[in-house]
Amino acid sequence: MSETPERRNSEANRQWGGRFAAGPSVIMQEINASIGFDRKMWRQDIRGSLAHAAMLARIGLIDAADERAISDGLAAISAEIEAGRFPFAEALEDIHMNIEARLTERVGEAGKRLHTARSRNDQVATDFRLWVRDAIDGLDAQLADLMRALAERAEAHAADPMPGFTHLQTAQPVTFGHHLLAYVEMFGRDRGRLADGRRRLNECPLGSAALAGTSFPIDRDMTAASLGFDRPTANSLDAVSDRDFALEFLSAAAISAMHLSRMAEEIVIWCSAPFRFIRLSDAFTTGSSIMPQKRNPDAAELVRAKAGRVTGALVGLLTVMKGLPLAYAKDMQEDKEPVFDAADAWALSLAATAGMVRDMTPDIARMRELAGSGFATATDLADWLVRVPRLAFRDAHHVTGRLVAMAEAKGADLAGLSLAEMRTVEPRMTDAVFSVLTVDASVASRTSYGGTAPANVVEQARRWRAALA
């Protein structure tokens, strides 16, 4: 039988159309339903409904018996979901209608009265804010735990030198503790962004209804307070259409994921054979299927990769929101999956990084050995020339550069030059210069606030540990 265009199209539809071959109604149900992912918000949905029912009863829109029935029914639904027995239905589209339908099955007319003076628009806006707020609280705790792990390791290694880099080239000696504290500062800023975003999102949309508010005499202050919000939202149009809180969350997530990725990259580098600064145990590494000697820092590599997912989530939601007129549009159903995915990726990355920080075994001798390589004390020499012979810094910089070239030609470090050799470049050199050319002297001299001197590192590490206690 010859193949016709119609036959080819029919075969393609069977191969690729799959569940959508049944027709437009199936396609519409699939694209319209969100229960596959928004069921994550069931706890928040039930909390919002309990607060709404209590308010309706207080103002007399439902009676006390209805409120008790609703409360008992929602408690039973919560138990069903916790036990994995809840009959989620795609035909009911979302978590809100699934719970409401099940509530009506259980308690009858009282369940139908629950939706008085609210819309799915303000309901989902409230649930989503509650979910993001809960996520912020959990992620903040994880960030604090990672910072504690780093501060503890920093204090333990406050005096252990390692090479500090710029352009991934040896620059000046620092201490391992000082390096770890740099990440404590980064993650501290991440916590600040979360706290700032949490303050801004903590307004309650419930009672804004579809977009214009409601004619019922509701008490929005009561529902806001019962859900832990600072106040109700001031504009009903903005309340149902705002997703800035989700974008701020994703922005904070993307910045923090970038910080985690930077640290992960350093862990990958530090584990590599040319560096050998640290070793990770089998708990955070994998082997090779063909090379038996390999110990791959896969946990760090995956943390590094997940930053792309988190950044992608931010860009995706910005793109969804950028062209939407007020108020609600179905496009906004696409707001939750990127936030849920980013929160999961961020949480896993934080857990893995905290685990690696506690697991890693630093090779102190190796770091000390490389801390003095690459003429790392050249800046100390230039500073000495400014302090003692009183050269202008630019002249001292020039003299130091000539001495580095001399040492490089000799195959030695700066301390390997003799005083006589140094005096051929700068006659005012004295034996005292050798006291600044050691790694320990270099790090000990950096006593300016925020510098790498061991006493500074101990002080900062203890300050952070106290703040995080």
Clarify whether 288 is annotated catalytic.
yes
Amino acid sitting at position 20 = F
Q: How far apart are CA 116 and CA 114, in angstroms?
A: 6
Q: How far apart are CA 149 and CA 157, in angstroms?
A: 13
Residues 6 or more apart whose CB falls under 8 angstroms from that of 242 comprise: 125, 205, 233
Amino acid sitting at position 180 = L
Q: How far is CA 226 from CA 61, 231, 256, in A?
A: 18, 10, 31
Q: Which of 167, 215, 289, 448 is catalytic?
A: 167
Handedness of CA 205, 206, 209, 212 (dihedral sign): negative
Q: Are 141 and 117 in contact (CB under 8 A)?
A: no
Please state whether 219 falls in left (phi above 0), alpha (psi between -120 and 50) or beta. Answer: beta
Q: How far is CA 143 from CA 138, 437, 448, in A?
A: 9, 39, 28
Handedness of CA 255, 194, 247, 352 (dihedral sign): positive
Q: Which of 10, 272, 281, 288 is catalytic?
A: 288
Task: Return the active site residues.
Answer: 167, 288
